[in-house]
Structure 1
Amino acid sequence: MWTSTMDLDQKKVLLTQILGRFYHNIYFSSYSPLQVQNLPRQSLPESSWVRVRNRLSGICGSDLHLLYHGGGDQRVASAARPTQKQFYPGHEVVGEVIEIGNDVQRIQVGDRVALQWRPNCITAGVQPVCHACSTGNYNLCDHGSFLAPQPLGGGWSEEMLLHEQQLFRVPSGLTDEQAVMLEPAAVAMHAVLRHVPRPGERVLIIGAGTVGLLTQQIVRSLAPQCEISVLARYPFQVEQATRQGAAHIIYPRDAYVGVQKATNAKLYNGIFGNQTLQGGYDVIYDTVGQKSGLFQHTTLHHALRWIRSRGTIVLVGLSLEPMNIDLTPLWHQEISLLGSNSHGAEYWPLGAMIKHLPSAWSQTSSISAVSRQSN
């Protein structure tokens, strides 16, 4: 079985990074943390597991981050937690179930499925489940990812072996190309539902990659009366964001001037290149979250200076590096800063809560619930 693995051993990652400064192709050589091997085909490890033959997989920015940077800086909080040294890349994936265990209840052979959840309390059989899992936010599980058997294979492999609860049955009306976008669409949906803009508010989406453009579409769907600006880096991103109805395009080279013109804010220029705005956007979704392109600071550094007083920033972009960042706008302007990680159980309209049951199958995901309730 052809299987892609990522060896996140820090010594190997560091050696590859050093050599990569002089020979970039090292990341695609036999010395790379990423390896493709033809491994023996394993049997299902447990009766509640299934075997999926992958049909299509996306390449996420987080997969590339792991390839080039490993598990991230060892000084960040997440690095202190136990982690798997071997990682199977590819979580944006659609495949076909070709084998099921004797105790599998929801999945049948022949079903098309998308990867939905990481290992969690349900897959580990932990009782009682943690707070995150009890509310359907399995990707924030407190301990299941450490206790549960790890899936074998990922989207970049020929097959995946994993617990049936981690999968979502793909509706027949979706093509494989559409189904592979369910996971990033769920990430964008989760980010927008962390804070939905009010009618008439000005919204900035930092980044026009896959998640950024999906975030733009979802804001337009859930808050159509908002005015949306998009910070885009490349011409094709500008074209797509414009086609999707962006009122303003912000260019990195003169971003402060662009934000000032789009929001009628007042721009202040201090010494040493220090810039800030009085006024600005009501809501900002930062889908980058790190240094990018022409920016010398992280995009969050700038977002804190582009938001109006008592505005809200939702940090969506992944960064596994410590941030040297000026946080004074948080208290000076009473800004709300929210994190958004992956996806979970979502409800629309907001407040339309359902009663949570202890069964894993009663939980409603961002992939399925919002699409059903909005139709």
Structure 2
Amino acid sequence: MSRLVFSRKPARFAAARLAGALMPGRGATVGPLSLEPDETLPLPTPEWLRLRPRLAGICGSDLALVDGTASAYFDPLVSYPFVPGHEVVADVVDEPGRRVVVIPVLHCAVRGVTPVCHECAAGRTNRCERIAFGHLEPGLQTGFCESTGGGWSTDMVAHPLQLVDVPAEFSDEAAVMIEPTACAVHAALQYDGSEAAIIGAGTVGLLTLAAIRATRDVTGPIIVTARYADQKRLAKELGADIVCAPDELPRWVRSATSSLLTGDQLTCGCRRVFDCVGSSDSIQQALRVVAPGGEV
């Protein structure tokens, strides 16, 4: 059996960036991602469990690795070589019939860090301050940590606190969407019903839109930016009031919120802006269209 491994090779990372600029995904042919024989990872402590991935998603952060566009900001929080794949549905090897999804965050309790950090003590494990410490190698989450492996393989390990059992009626294809959907639901819970902009109509953007419509009372228009025809169609089907090209967002926000212009800056804007792209350009655009006192 085989696994995909991402190694620290700066020259290949640069080559992937050049190739990916020509065609998305082409970085895989020249970059530091390689197909290697699978290895049996040691269990960090006896309580850890061995998993056999059934299906793993491909996140936007994974694509950024493949095409060499991932930010170097997170490099100290990653341990090489690592197996990508943090959206995972898997079988527990020593518990036949048990199918689980993985909560990828490698927080204090998972790392064996005591006492736990302030954020973990408050229940905000996604903000753990000890993600480079404990009995694991550094890593924000499973799929970026040498010690845990990832879903792009046939063998990985996980702490029991990371596992959620999958209902029998869920297909693997549905189960593998649980992790990105959970991210979208957390974002939707910050929505207050007023006008909102969702930047990006990829998986996370569309899931955020669906989560808002499913869980919140909507009073203001929801504006979604989309690049491709399928994204635009799905955004409308999922309840977007306005779907526009990314460069048209300021104009539509101005119209929806009755904003005036001061130079290039809107005098008002959307009360909530959801950046579902996470690039420097999308962050700048989010700050441009958010209302004074609003939230991104």
Deviation at 1:145, TM superposition (A): 4.0
Gaps of 5+ in 2: 137-145
Deviation at 1:262, TM superposition (A): 2.6
TM-score (norm 2): 0.85
Q: Please, which moves more after superposition, 82-91 or 15-24? A: 15-24
Partner residue of 1:243?
237
Preserved contact between residue 16 and residue 27 of structure 1 (Cα < 8 Å): yes
The residue identity in structure 1 corresponding to 2:200 is G
**Matched residues in 1 for 2:25 and 2:64: separation?**
16
The residue identity in structure 2 corresponding to 1:122 is A
Partner residue of 2:109?
122
Aligned counterparts, 1:273-312, within 5 A: 275-290=264-279, 298-312=281-295
Deviation at 1:58, TM superposition (A): 0.9
Deviation at 1:249, TM superposition (A): 1.4
Deviation at 1:241, TM superposition (A): 0.9
Aligned counterparts, 1:1-375, within 5 A: 1-17=1-17, 27-29=27-29, 31-42=30-41, 44-69=43-68, 72-73=71-72, 76=73, 78-79=74-75, 81=76, 83-99=78-94, 108-149=95-136, 150-193=146-189, 195-197=190-192, 199=193, 201-226=194-219, 227-268=221-262, 270=263, 275-290=264-279, 298-313=281-296
Partner residue of 1:350?
none
Shift of the 109–214 alpha-carbon distance from structure 1 to 2, 3 Å rule, reads same
For residues 150-179 of structure 1, the C-alpha deviation after alignment (integer angstroms, 9 at most, x for no partner) is: 544311111212322222211223221111
Deviation at 1:24, TM superposition (A): 8.3
Shift of the 306–124 alpha-carbon distance from structure 1 to 2, 3 Å rule, reads closer
Preserved contact between residue 97 and residue 109 of structure 1 (Cα < 8 Å): yes
Deviation at 1:71, TM superposition (A): 5.3
Deviation at 1:243, TM superposition (A): 0.8
Partner residue of 2:143?
none
The residue identity in structure 1 corresponding to 2:277 is V
Preserved contact between residue 97 and residue 112 of structure 1 (Cα < 8 Å): yes
For residues 228-262 of structure 1, the C-alpha deviation after alignment (integer angstroms, 9 at most, x for no partner) is: 11111111111111111111112224333222223
- 4+ runs deviating over 6 angstroms: 19-26
Local SS of the residue matching 2:93: strand
Gaps of 5+ in 1: 100-107, 292-297, 314-375
**Matched residues in 2 for 1:59 and 1:203: separation?**
27
| Aligned length in residues | 286
Shift of the 57–19 alpha-carbon distance from structure 1 to 2, 3 Å rule, reads closer
Preserved contact between residue 56 and residue 94 of structure 1 (Cα < 8 Å): yes
Shift of the 54–155 alpha-carbon distance from structure 1 to 2, 3 Å rule, reads same
Shift of the 144–301 alpha-carbon distance from structure 1 to 2, 3 Å rule, reads closer
Q: Choose 1 or 2 for highest CA Rg.
A: 1
Local SS of the residue matching 1:35: strand
The residue identity in structure 1 corresponding to 2:3 is T
**Matched residues in 2 for 1:26 and 1:230: separation?**
28
Local SS of the residue matching 1:87: coil
Shift of the 253–137 alpha-carbon distance from structure 1 to 2, 3 Å rule, reads closer
